[in-house]
Amino acid sequence: MWLYNAPPRQLLRERYGFAPDDAWLDHVRQSSVRFNSGGSGSFVSKDGLIVTNHHVGAGDLQKLSGEGRDYVMNGFHARTREEEKRCIDLELNVLTSMEDVTERVNAAIAPSMSAQDAFAARRAVMAQIEKVSLDATGLRSDIITLFGGGAYHLYRYKRYTDVRLVFAPEQQAAFFGGDPDNFEYPRYDLDICLFRAYENGAPAHITDWLKWSASGVSENELVFVSGHPGHTSRQLAMGELEYLRDEAFPFALAGLYRKEVALMAWSGRSDENARRARESLFGVQNGRKARGGMLAGLLEPALMASTREAENRLRDAISKSAELKDAAAAWDRIDAAQKIVAPDARASAMLEQARGFDSTLFHIARTLLRASEEQAKPSGDRLREYRDSNRESLELGLFSEEPIYDDFEIFKLEGSLTWLVEILGAENPVVKAVLVGLSPRERAAGLVAGTKLKDVGVRRSLYLKPVGSLAESLDPMLLLAQTIDPESRRLRKIGEAQDEVKRQAYAKIAEARFKLEGGRSYPDATFTLRLAFGAVRGYEEQGRPVPFQTQLRGLYARSESHQGKPPFDLPPRWVAAKEKLDLSTPLNFVSTADIIGGNSGSPVLNRAGEFVGIIFDGNIESCVLDFLYTDRKARAVSVNAQAIVEALRKVYDAGALADEIEGVQRR
Amino acid sequence: MWLYNAPPRQLLRERYGFAPDDAWLDHVRQSSVRFNSGGSGSFVSKDGLIVTNHHVGAGDLQKLSGEGRDYVMNGFHARTREEEKRCIDLELNVLTSMEDVTERVNAAIAPSMSAQDAFAARRAVMAQIEKVSLDATGLRSDIITLFGGGAYHLYRYKRYTDVRLVFAPEQQAAFFGGDPDNFEYPRYDLDICLFRAYENGAPAHITDWLKWSASGVSENELVFVSGHPGHTSRQLAMGELEYLRDEAFPFALAGLYRKEVALMAWSGRSDENARRARESLFGVQNGRKARGGMLAGLLEPALMASTREAENRLRDAISKSAELKDAAAAWDRIDAAQKIVAPDARASAMLEQARGFDSTLFHIARTLLRASEEQAKPSGDRLREYRDSNRESLELGLFSEEPIYDDFEIFKLEGSLTWLVEILGAENPVVKAVLVGLSPRERAAGLVAGTKLKDVGVRRSLYLKPVGSLAESLDPMLLLAQTIDPESRRLRKIGEAQDEVKRQAYAKIAEARFKLEGGRSYPDATFTLRLAFGAVRGYEEQGRPVPFQTQLRGLYARSESHQGKPPFDLPPRWVAAKEKLDLSTPLNFVSTADIIGGNSGSPVLNRAGEFVGIIFDGNIESCVLDFLYTDRKARAVSVNAQAIVEALRKVYDAGALADEIEGVQRR
């Protein structure tokens, strides 16, 4: 998960006798696309065609669907540019430059400052640097905190907000094998989705896009992955890892379990319910399996022991160096900060992270409320998501025409209000203020029935109005957001101050690590562009070899071995196309590339920088990559490039798209 | 939920102008059957034929199934007596007599005794009374604690342990609509299962069995329900109710959510996995929906307010009476006792209730270990389930030939060990001793691979052997049971002492209530025989009337409205039989009868004592009956007697069974 401005050239040369040059890196970086909804993708034609995963595009497919029109389940195919459907609130980012601003950020912090003042000063200077950059370049400008506070880089992005849906297969082709096969291998999935970036109402003219490989991958071949890993915890102090194991993961899983059960039950009641909940259910199941795998990793004593050993080695080295003595106390400071936030962590999850208010309408209400409140302050004093440089992205979401269903809103809100009561207690004053003497069921129904925020026009009319006039609207969802906001903000403030303490401590550790390890390292993932690499390679499971690649024939065989029953059923188009297909076409392959959630949709490239596949999953053993890289059994799972064009041409009658991807000149 | 020896004759006469006489009660009582696996049933022929629910018999169907033979899913039909299949470990009980032994039990307790001594003395006198009764009568003899300690009755039961499976429909007919329709109404389910009691290798000769009604039920008709409600909390102090709301139910639900998700995922992997997990999954989903409904009830402020008001009225009346002043402090004593047990409640659930050890093999190991330990003590000093009078029942379970699957055991054990770590913490000494430095996955696999207890012969050879020789067996599951036993027993002891404190306090409250209310009351449910009554009656939901009865045609209509997709698919036999059936046959009906879990399979009777239906569910509004009886929306759901014989004759070609049930003389 290397930074593009600090690529592991030496390591690659040592291990593979090859290292990408600057032109290679610049080209791949500018071909890489971040899906702000949480995923990765890449340009694959000069006309702005983008390939990502079906499960990355699923949120947009869901928003474009409606009763009787289920693009998630049934897929979509625009046969002409005119049929391409504009996504409702999708923002894509392409990283155009990176700049190290560590010194400028740290210069704003005096050693004598309290944690809270230091946090405020840091937030202010970051907002100011971003604003200056935005004004100067017109580009989205985000400062990224790396090494937990060891470095600050200013990333500038080209934004695309007119993004159109071009093609999606049926979910059953993209996610064949469903939850049972998710995070497993061998796999047989066509987890892809095509979008097109537009500018000024026409397809964007792209200068950097990836050439499609005609040759596929071979075992042990070096491959690269260019994408946006969301989050890793590899440099966490042991105390924080133990906290994840003992509290954070079990709590998160408890929330996912209850939501999965509720969504399954709700979906079971009707096809339309199932359609409305489809993407949420996938997300919850996927999250549950990933976190379950991570927790299982943390419960592997060998893993914890090796992590503890590494930490001890580092602490030992630090304690022996006079130059590094500043870092020696960092771990105690992290533990102390964690002890301060831990007692409020659940309350903070319920209120500030809004786990107790699982409702799109509530999120809209809170955004409106806080936008008004924060607008009155200088940009640098605001909650970070309300800073000037984030305004366009914030508005894109706030004014989204995403369909909102009353029954689904009530259902989700009742469940989450119930959880709120369970976690904070029925006698908690905030809970009492939230429920106003009603049961979660009645309260949820009343809130959804009473709010006007489903209407985007109403949202626009309230946006940035003085807080007093929001209250005058008497919109019950806005009033609810207002009710919990003082406590919610109080909890956030505690957390942010201690995060600053941790940031300073991790910065010390990172500095010491730089000095000891000579910079041969990369920061934890931050949902920003990184370059990973690895070898295409099978593995062993229970003594049996798992081959590196599957073929199209395996898809049919696996479906037959389950008598075609869900989730191993084949979409009708696939049944019909069997005879036409070259069944020896490679379908999915595994590699030792270092990936994590957020990498979904990342292009896999060969040395020539050609597109050979697309990341869509990791095996269950890969969940541990959150804490530790290992290539023993952990594998990234990709769709082969060849399977994509074979399916486009022969299953979906989408030859024009295959031509565009393969660079075949259109007639 | 009235006691058979204190029937509500006056109330019935006032409300319905009818009260059953002693002969009526004796006949119905002796026709009623308790399924010790957790349910109710009744005799419906002189040859020992018993009707219960499919979901009550499902455990036995599961145990009789095997790879490629799935009686739960596909049903079963013995066309001759010879084909009837003996259940593996099913025990049925028929209540033959009741005797009030309150004075004898209380005489053993001196007011000066500590809670712990009082508990031991009470346990000893109860075991002694039971043993004397067992020796004198040969009948299973259980002392039942009523009114939370206000009364003790000695119940004697005839036991049947040679019980044979006669008939079961497909689960999809019994549980049509699956989880989405469970606890809902209208319903369309044939949730029945037929067994036959045998004695000395031949069908039992039964003197009391229920006559089948030819006429069905009509709206507002008085009906009776004779069955074994498992547990209610209607006389709980408010403090205990709040504890249920704030801690016990959320914790139980968290366990059910995680288990449901895990079972769904495991079942998805193969048909055989699904078969092995079928009954567990049903039980977990059913429990989740029931407890979710109960928690929703506790979160209804109106319900809590009315309960609090009732308690305040009672406390007020007590405080005004010099005679009752003993009872005034009872609530504080209950709260104090609850405060003592609460901090250990989760640990006790994980260890003593073995939630952390979800494995049949673990239960066997613990039973073997404790049987040996307890055998060395006088019966009255033993843990209650090891008393002499329970020995036969205990052995029936311990030496059960129920199939045990290594992979399913490992799966369940891994999941529950993970939960154990989450709840008690990785650094807890008991947890560390349990895991011996391994991950839950590795430990579960090692335990299941290493134990020999799957072999019933091994169990027999170890049964009642000195504890030392159990340890010498080095069986890892036995050693595990031994590892946790000291802490587990310590937690149980704390709980039992405080239960005694509560028992004495509730006894005072019950006494006061008797005096104030003149005995027009019934105790909380205790999985013992009770008589309930109510009227056949529809209700209103969201302003629309819900009719009291459905018909067979509704089953087909509901399936069609869901395009026959699971869980609304019809078994092939039902599709084929449609033309033959009288589609106007009543299928399910609702009544205001007072039921709760454990009543499943209870016969529903008309004034003449005839079988008009069988309880199989309550609507979601009925879950609140755990805390409070209401007939506003809460309804018991039954299968109509007519649907049973119509289906037996025309869907299942089981005319002989229909004849036997209807009392038609065989040719």
Contact B480, B457 (CB under 8 A): no
Tell which wins on pLDDT, B506 or A514: B506
Query: Nearest-CA residue of chain A relative to B441?
Result: A296
When pLDDT is cut at 50, 70 and 90, the band that residue A519 belongs to is low
What is the SS3 assignment for A147? helix
Contact B53, B192 (CB under 8 A): yes
Contact criterion met (CB < 8 Å) for B299 and A257: no
Looking at residue B659, its pLDDT comes to 97
What is the SS3 assignment for B99? strand
Find the chain B residues whose C-beta atoms sit closer than 8 A to any C-beta of A: 178-180, 242, 245-246, 250, 253-254, 257-258, 260-261, 264-265, 268-271, 288-289, 295-296, 299-301, 418, 421-422, 425-426, 435, 437-441, 562-563, 565, 567
Q: How many CB atoms lie within 10 A of CB B165?
A: 24
CA-based torsion, B16, B18, B22, B23: positive or negative: negative
Map tokens 């007692």 to a residue: A343
A70-100 per-position pLDDT tens digit: 999 999 999 999 999 999 999 999 999 999 9
Q: Residues with Cβ < 8 Å from B5, sequence gap 6 or more? A: B98, B100, B153
Contact criterion met (CB < 8 Å) for B268 and A242: no
Query: Nearest-CA residue of chain B relative to A417?
Result: B299
Q: Residues with Cβ < 8 Å from A130, sequence gap 6 or more? A: A141, A142, A143, A154, A387, A388, A389
In angstroms, rounded to a whole number, what is the distance separating the alpha carbons of residues A572 and A576? 6
- The radius of gyration of chain A's CA atoms, rounded to the nearest angstrom, is 25
Looking at residue A630, its pLDDT comes to 86
Looking at residue A621, its pLDDT comes to 87
A133-152 per-position pLDDT tens digit: 999 999 999 999 999 899 99
For B274-292, b/e burial (b = at least 16 CB within 10 A) is bbbbbbbbbbbbbbbbbbb
A12-62 per-position pLDDT tens digit: 999 999 999 999 999 999 999 999 999 999 999 999 999 999 999 999 999
Contact criterion met (CB < 8 Å) for B426 and A296: no
Query: Nearest-CA residue of chain A relative to B567?
Result: A268
Picking from A71, A168, A181, the residue whose alpha carbon sits closest to that of residue A559 is: A181
Give chain B's residues under pLDDT 70.
519, 665-667
In angstroms, rounded to a whole number, what is the distance separating the alpha carbons of residues A271 and B566? 11
Contact B268, B563 (CB under 8 A): no
For residue A257, list chain B residues with Cβ-Cβ distance below 8 A: 254, 257-258, 260-261
Is residue A322 packed enough to be buried (19+ CB in 10 Å), middle (13-18) or exposed (0-12)?
A: exposed
Contact A150, A502 (CB under 8 A): no
pLDDT over threshold 80, residue A452: yes
ipTM for the assembly: 0.89
> Which amino acid is it at B83?
E
> Which amino acid is it at A655?
G
- Residue A517 C-alpha, separation from nearest chain B C-alpha, in angstroms: 32
Which one of A261, A300, A437 has the shortest CB-CB distance to B301?
A437
Contact criterion met (CB < 8 Å) for A265 and B441: no
Looking at residue B76, its pLDDT comes to 98
Which one of B180, B246, B299 has the shortest CB-CB distance to A265?
B180
In angstroms, rounded to a whole number, what is the distance separating the alpha carbons of residues B501 and B180? 42
Find the chain A residues whose C-beta atoms sit closer than 8 A to any C-beta of B: 178-180, 242, 245-246, 250, 253-254, 257-258, 260-261, 264-265, 268-271, 288-289, 295-296, 299-301, 418, 421-422, 425-426, 435, 437-441, 562-563, 565, 567
Whole-number average pLDDT of chain A: 95
Write the DSSP string, B204-260.
PP-S--PPBPSS---TT-EEEEEE------TT--HHHHHHIIIIIHHHHHHHHHHHH
Contact criterion met (CB < 8 Å) for B246 and A295: no
Which one of A180, A268, A438 has the shortest CB-CB distance to B567?
A268
A299-312 per-position pLDDT tens digit: 999 889 999 999 99
Helix (H) or strand (E) holding A197: strand A193-199
Which one of A258, A289, A421 has the shortest CB-CB distance to B299?
A421
When pLDDT is cut at 50, 70 and 90, the band that residue A667 belongs to is very low
A97-127 per-position pLDDT tens digit: 999 999 999 999 999 999 999 999 999 999 9
Bond prior to B566 in cis (omega within 30° of 0) = no
- Residue A288 C-alpha, separation from nearest chain B C-alpha, in angstroms: 9
Contact criterion met (CB < 8 Å) for B261 and A257: yes
A409-428 per-position pLDDT tens digit: 999 999 999 999 999 999 99
Facing residues of B549 across strands?
B589
In degrees, rounded to 5, the angle at the alpha carbon of residue A364 between the alpha carbons of residues A259 and A287 is 30
DSSP A212: B
For residue A440, list chain B residues with Cβ-Cβ distance below 8 A: 296, 299
Q: How many CB atoms lie within 10 A of CB A411?
A: 24
Write the DSSP string, A215-255.
S---TT-EEEEEE------TT--HHHHHHIIIIIHHHHHHH
Q: How many CB atoms lie within 10 A of CB A214?
A: 12
- Residue A482 C-alpha, separation from nearest chain B C-alpha, in angstroms: 23
Looking at residue B667, its pLDDT comes to 45
Which one of A261, A435, A441 has the shortest CB-CB distance to B288?
A261
Contact criterion met (CB < 8 Å) for B426 and A264: no
Q: How many contacts (CB atoms, under 8 Å) link A and B?
A: 90
Looking at residue B666, its pLDDT comes to 52
In angstroms, rounded to a whole number, what is the distance separating the alpha carbons of residues B78 and A595? 57
**Candidates B247, B257, B281, partner chain A, best to mutate (most A CBs within 10 A):** B257
Looking at residue B326, its pLDDT comes to 84
> Which amino acid is it at B246?
D
